[in-house]
Chain A
């Protein structure tokens, strides 16, 4: 078994689970990429709030990612830095430090207008978030089930 859904099954939950599964089958705990203990510490142990914040990021990521790529493609350093700065802050709040560091690098390369490095680092960030999203999705579902 790679994943599960509790009954009763909601359509939105089913859609999200299938999407996560299609994007990544790696179910490793991702200890090196996401510090769950630190994330809970930042919200004073409030798992409900952490689930909510993860949900906010998961929902915002596609739009932010598209905007980041657009700014890089159009060589707009101001816009790129602003989006990268936002991603850096959010990923750091969620204790996904390696991904936050990549966002910081994008912000830096943007300020230098080093578009080649910007492109490379965006790809790395996308790869990390692709690995994180299913794990976050599973965490949310597991704790939603546990909280009844």
Chain B
């Protein structure tokens, strides 16, 4: 996975490059403007480690820009800084960072937090894929909605052209359902059973 490393301090950048290059395809920036250019490019990294204090655009400002654009809004951002205190943590997270790690850091902690970020991105990808599949399925579903005027006697339905249509025809036109004709027990007793002796007689006569 591509990872943007935006850090202007050579020593810290070298430390991170050494330990992260084995697990990630690193793209490096030494200032905020360059980092922003990288994030807006096609095939941009979706995982980013940003230093707070950088020349030009600083980490929190970069976070605000990232969240303001649809193309970059889903980027997972780990903010790196030697600023301490709850107020600074709140500032960084409110600016749009997903996580925050204080310098001096242990590289094992940086790795663990990036793995957590990767899991979040994988989950986002899975949800996006499922949403797309559901939208495609919904496009094939035709639903019957609203009030349907139906005759109380013959059960014909008045369609959109004010024509009283047989129920079977209406359902066939307005849904994916296919009707198969049968006979319910009540109608069997009422309509079919009286005909049964006459039918048997007719068969004997032949």
Where the two chains meet, the residues of A that have a C-beta atom closer than 8 Å to any C-beta of B are 41-44, 46, 49, 52-53, 56-57, 60, 82, 85-86, 88-90, 92-95
Residues on A with beta carbons closer than 8 Å to the beta carbon of B15:
42-43, 49, 53, 93
B18 touches A92 (CB 8 A): no
| A133 to B81 CA separation, bound complex (whole angstroms) | 25
Tell me, rounded to whole Å, the shortest Cβ–Cβ distance linking B103 to chain A: 5
Q: List 5 A-B contacts (CB under 8 A).
A: A43-B107, A60-B11, A88-B82, A89-B103, A89-B104
Does residue B10 face the partner (Cβ distance < 8 Å to A)? yes
Does residue B19 face the partner (Cβ distance < 8 Å to A)? yes
Does residue B108 face the partner (Cβ distance < 8 Å to A)? yes
B106 touches A42 (CB 8 A): yes
Where the two chains meet, the residues of B that have a C-beta atom closer than 8 Å to any C-beta of A are 9-12, 14-15, 18-19, 53, 82, 103-108
Residues on B with beta carbons closer than 8 Å to the beta carbon of A57:
11
Specify the main secondary structure of chain B where it touches its partner.
Answer: helix
A44 touches B108 (CB 8 A): yes
Residues on B with beta carbons closer than 8 Å to the beta carbon of A89:
9, 12, 82, 103-104
A44 touches B104 (CB 8 A): no
Residues on A with beta carbons closer than 8 Å to the beta carbon of B53:
82, 85-86
Tell me, rounded to whole Å, the shortest Cβ–Cβ distance linking B58 to chain A: 11
> Across chains A and B, which 9 residue pairs bring their CB atoms closest together, nearest first?
A92-B104, A90-B11, A56-B11, A89-B82, A93-B104, A89-B103, A49-B18, A53-B11, A86-B9
Q: Contact check: which of A41, A46, A49, A93 meets B12 at CB < 8 Å?
A: A93
| A46 to B106 CA separation, bound complex (whole angstroms) | 13
| A49 to B22 CA separation, bound complex (whole angstroms) | 15
| A84 to B129 CA separation, bound complex (whole angstroms) | 48
B108, closest chain A residue (CB)? A44
Q: Contact check: which of B18, B19, B103, B108 meets A93 at CB < 8 Å?
A: B103
Residues on B with beta carbons closer than 8 Å to the beta carbon of A56:
10-11, 14
| A43 to B17 CA separation, bound complex (whole angstroms) | 12
B53, closest chain A residue (CB)? A85
Further pairs besides A43-B19, A92-B103: 14, Cβ < 8 Å: A42-B105, A42-B106, A43-B107, A52-B14, A53-B14, A53-B15, A56-B10, A60-B10, A88-B82, A89-B9, A89-B103, A92-B82, A93-B11, A93-B104
Tell me, rounded to whole Å, the shortest Cβ–Cβ distance linking B16 to chain A: 10
Residues on A with beta carbons closer than 8 Å to the beta carbon of B105:
42
A46 touches B18 (CB 8 A): yes
| A64 to B22 CA separation, bound complex (whole angstroms) | 31
B107, closest chain A residue (CB)? A44
| A56 to B18 CA separation, bound complex (whole angstroms) | 14
B10, closest chain A residue (CB)? A56
Residues on B with beta carbons closer than 8 Å to the beta carbon of A46:
18
Tell me, rounded to whole Å, the shortest Cβ–Cβ distance linking A33 to chain B: 16
B80, closest chain A residue (CB)? A89
A85 touches B82 (CB 8 A): yes
Tell me, rounded to whole Å, the shortest Cβ–Cβ distance linking B110 to chain A: 11
Tell me, rounded to whole Å, the shortest Cβ–Cβ distance linking A83 to chain B: 11
Residues on B with beta carbons closer than 8 Å to the beta carbon of A88:
82
